[in-house]
Amino acid sequence: MPSTLSTTQRDYLPALYITCFGRFVVRRGGKALELCGSRNGQAILRFLVAQQGYRATADTLMEMLWPGEELENARRKLHVAVSHLRHSLNCGFGCDPGGGYILCKNQLYQINPAVTLLTDVDEFLALYRSGGQGSRAEMIARYEQACRLYHDPFLAEDLYADWSIRLREQLMQAYIAMCGVLCNHFLETGRYENALHWARTMLEANRCDEEAYRNLMRAYAALGRRNDALRQYHCCGKVLLEELNVSPMPETVQVYHYILAGYTLPAQEGK
């Protein structure tokens, strides 16, 4: 059994660091916490972490987890799930009943605002937003750091939950945009292997991304790997036909014909 902290420590709750890209992990003091066995309790925490201010009403949580359930039954289930969650987060701390990391007041549940909470999504967005505010070298460094955080989609456990789709899409689009900037940067600076990496990364996120295919074609052509460059065009056409029932855009066709004719391509599109 974990020991309870002394009275002088009860008012202090250590910061939490939460990983949301890929598997959901909560760390306290650098160590991963074993969350409650209640799947609903864990789902409540993931939902709160994804909300502005880390809060949600009881009605919202009940509708998310028990749609159509009789109100009193849903309210009882919510209380039990939150109790399990609170117990696992507060483990080792002498918190008052209903206190600690998860608070509820006037049917509003929230992560205790007195607790320092940092997520990998917070870091990712801060790097993304600050990327355009410094020098080009600083932007590239920040974008690389941000993209390293995005190793898997947002909240994989809730991949098909309606409430998570919009934010997941926004994060993915920011990620792809940064990958595109990085890819173009390495094409411009002649670091073609790096450009290949980021173009492939874009396709892992969206296999229909024509810009990524064009960048692969450019990088392969610059490396003298003409056949690989042409192969990417045919791969692009096949994927677009299968997934979207469309043909490659004129820009993509033009890059293909330039490579086919042996022309030297500009390092970046539009130049």
Convert the pLDDT of each residue in 95-142 to its tens digit: 888 889 999 999 999 999 999 999 999 999 999 999 988 899 999 999
Structure letter (DSSP) for residue 101: T
Specify the pLDDT at position 2: 36
Domain membership of residue 266 (yes or no) is no
Same domain, 167 and 241: yes
Contacts of 236 (CB under 8 A, 6+ apart): 210, 213, 248, 252
With bands split at pLDDT 50, 70 and 90, how would you rate the model's confidence at 92?
Answer: confident
Domain membership of residue 34 (yes or no) is yes
Domain membership of residue 105 (yes or no) is yes
- Name the domain count of the chain: 2
Same domain, 30 and 54: yes
What gap in Å lies between CA 126 and CA 118, rounded to an integer? 11
Q: Are 85 and 42 in contact (CB under 8 A)?
A: yes
Structure letter (DSSP) for residue 191: -
Report whether pLDDT(44) > 70: yes
Q: Look up the CATH number of the domain holding residue 93.
A: 1.10.10.10
Same domain, 246 and 164: yes
Specify the pLDDT at position 93: 83
Domain membership of residue 268 (yes or no) is no
Burial 192-210 (b: 16+ CB within 10 A, else e): bebbbbbbebbbeebeebb
Going by their DSSP bridges, the two strands 31-32 and 25-28 should be labelled as: antiparallel
What gap in Å lies between CA 254 and CA 257, rounded to an integer? 5
Domain membership of residue 189 (yes or no) is yes
Report whether pLDDT(4) > 60: no
Count the Cβ atoms, other than its own, within 10 Å of residue 133.
Answer: 9
Count the Cβ atoms, other than its own, within 10 Å of residue 91.
Answer: 17
Same domain, 140 and 61: no
Last residue of a domain, one of 115, 148, 165: 115
- Residue 97 phi, psi dihedral angles, 5° rounding: -55, 130
Same domain, 50 and 132: no
Same domain, 70 and 179: no
Same domain, 172 and 254: yes
Domain membership of residue 43 (yes or no) is yes
Same domain, 213 and 237: yes
Q: Look up the CATH number of the domain holding residue 136.
A: 1.25.40.10
Last residue of a domain, one of 115, 143, 175: 115
Last residue of a domain, one of 98, 115, 132: 115
Same domain, 129 and 91: no
SS3 at position 269 = coil
Count the Cβ atoms, other than its own, within 10 Å of residue 39.
Answer: 13
Same domain, 185 and 230: yes
Same domain, 222 and 237: yes
Specify the pLDDT at position 6: 35
Q: Whole-prediction pTM value?
A: 0.86
Domain membership of residue 1 (yes or no) is no
> Torsion angle of alpha carbons 204, 17, 157, 181, nearest 10°?
-20
Helix 192-205 to helix 210-222 angle, to the nearest 10 degrees? 160
Q: Which domain holds residue 151?
A: 120-261
Q: Are 108 and 57 in contact (CB under 8 A)?
A: yes
Specify the pLDDT at position 16: 96
Domain membership of residue 228 (yes or no) is yes
**pLDDT tens digits for range 194-208:** 999 999 999 999 999
Same domain, 135 and 214: yes
Specify the pLDDT at position 1: 31
**What tokens were used for 32?**
């991963």
